[in-house]
Amino acid sequence: MAPQPPSSGATTPNSEFESILPVHPTAARRPNYLTVQSENTTYTTEYIDAKYINRGASVSVSDGQFTVTPTAQPYELRTARKVGKTGLMMIGVGGNNGSTLCATILANRHNIIWGTKTGVQQPNYIGSVLRASTVQIGTDPLTKQEVHIPIADVLPMVHPNDLVLGGWDISGLSMDQAMKRAQVLDYDLQRQVAPYMAELEKPLPSIYYPDFIAANQEARADNLIPGADKQAHLEHIRADIRNFKEKHDLDRIVVFWTANTERYSDIISGVNDTADNLLAAIKASHSEVSPSTLFAVAAILEGQPFVNGAPQNTFVPGVIGLAEREKSFIGGDDLKSGQTKLKSVLAEFLVNAGIKPLSIASYNHLGNNDGKNLSAERQFKSKEISKSSVVDDMVDANRLLYKAPQVAAKGEKQAKGEHPDHIIVIKYVPAVGDSKRAIDEYYSEIFCGGRQTINIFNECEDSLLATPLILDLTILTELLTRIQYRSGEQKEFASLYPVLSLLSYMCKAPLVKPGTAVVNSLGRQRNALESFLKACVGLESNTDLLLETRIW
């Protein structure tokens, strides 16, 4: 779909400015220059092999006494060094996020510089964790100062400029017109990038099941795969993925849902509870098979990763079972860009400080198409569920503040323990467009019956926060397909578990391996990501012990 990217650092002359600014550091193309000199790390032309000890602790409880036994499990991690040619196929490519992502990649690729009312602006990847943040890798022995490098330099990763762009949309607008409709980017950038956007192929026809998204989206639905046969739709989408891969000679495609929020699907025994039942339900065109689930199944059967950037329950049990069976990667749910990201930090701060949040009330309004779709009750409910669980693990970690749940009697459902009141409101206000306004109130109990209230007002360009997260999720997903592990008696290396929980840092409602705990704490999610990437080159996790500064 996209014109092929230049090999490196290409620029486009711009007569409106006297000189072209240098490429922004977050957008610069850098070689992977990290080399670890250790008996635990081996470099070959094909692989980076690292030995890593996963340290933890096993805890047993008896009569209120805790017995802790340290554990140490050795692993070998192997990362393929070659970064394959990667495509990104977005469902909803013509929406706010999809059109913004395509336009900003093209602006970075061609170094388009534009004027704003405050001056000259150059393209960059600010907001991307992988492109615009760093990781600490050690200490300089001479200066005694910590050394930080870009996260993207720890392991070989896809550069955003190299992604081959494509996808589906229920709206048939050309990509330049879709960008104009979104009203996200500055006019001067739109004007300059429009010719490149016009060269992109129009979105592929998508599937439209009116029961799953708001009725107010019907006017956009003019680019549809015909018929109501869900099996035929599945085969059509699979063919689209195969054709895109062949046309652009791709090694990997990441299929990404950035379309409208759907209502939740009902989980029905015999319909979507197992892989076989789900495939049979698709064949029977069952009403509870959603568009996003159908796209996920198509990607899984084609052996390509699927990431869900919206809050609905795309990953019904049958999808997870199918991903396990096919050893195909999935991840999500819902982009964590602003209000919820802040909540996952502030709630943890309060609880860790021994302060007890009694209520958390969140309100926001926005005027883009996402807000319009969420104005429908069933679609809002999906978003409410996604946002509401973000403080659960912080509360569960501190039962000094919150009463623990009572043990359920046999046959009874386990009740939740004490929990803050958590209210979420979203309103559609067309006038503000993509500029979202969010207000949060944290009402807490403090020392000896006192009270504390923290109010936060946040205004942001919604799509300009979300777009870098799509890039991070895509790039990280591609990397994880190149990492294998071996442990214990394993003779052969194996791929990672299909549910990519390492994507949690960018997701509101992280998808994790069934039966394991969900971590919403932003600090813990970030530490897990950093620690894993460093483990792949044989480095230990970050430590803030700084023992050398505490002793003579």
Give the active site residues. 334, 383, 436, 508
Q: Which amino acid is at 233?
A: H
* Three-state SS annotation for 227-266: CCCHHHHHHHHHHHHHHHHHHCCCCEEEEEECCCCCCCCC
DSSP run (H or E) holding 140: none
Cβ burial of 324 (10 Å; 0-12, 13-18, 19+) is middle
Q: Which amino acid is at 521?
A: S
User: What are the tokens at 359?
Assistant: 């209520």
Runs of H (alpha helix) within 133-247: 175-182, 187-199, 230-247
Is the CA virtual torsion 324, 326, 327, 332 positive or negative?
negative
Q: Which residues are CB-neighbours of 347 under 8 A, at least 6 positions away?
A: 357, 360, 390, 391, 394, 442
Q: Which phi-psi region, left, alpha or beta, contains residue 107 (left: φ > 0; alpha: ψ -120 to 50)?
A: alpha
User: What are the tokens at 525?
Assistant: 């999610």
Radius of gyration of the chain (CA): 24
Q: How many CA atoms lie within 13 A of 258 on its CB side?
A: 31
Cα–chain-centroid distance for residue 96? 17
Q: What angle do CA 68, 72, 76 make, to 5 degrees?
A: 160
DSSP run (H or E) holding 344: helix 339-352
Distances (CA, A) of 147 to 38, 133, 209, 545: 18, 13, 52, 16
Q: How far apart are CA 509 and CA 391, in angstroms?
A: 11
Is the CA virtual torsion 176, 180, 185, 189 positive or negative?
positive
Say if CB 496 and CB 507 are below 8 A apart.
Answer: no
Q: How far apart are CA 137 and CA 532, in angstroms?
A: 13
Is the CA virtual torsion 21, 133, 4, 237 positive or negative?
negative
Q: How far apart are CA 412 and CA 223, in angstroms?
A: 49
Cβ burial of 49 (10 Å; 0-12, 13-18, 19+) is buried
Say if CB 171 and CB 221 are below 8 A apart.
Answer: yes
Give the number of other CB atoms < 10 A from CB of residue 251.
14
Q: How far apart are CA 225 and CA 294, in angstroms?
A: 13
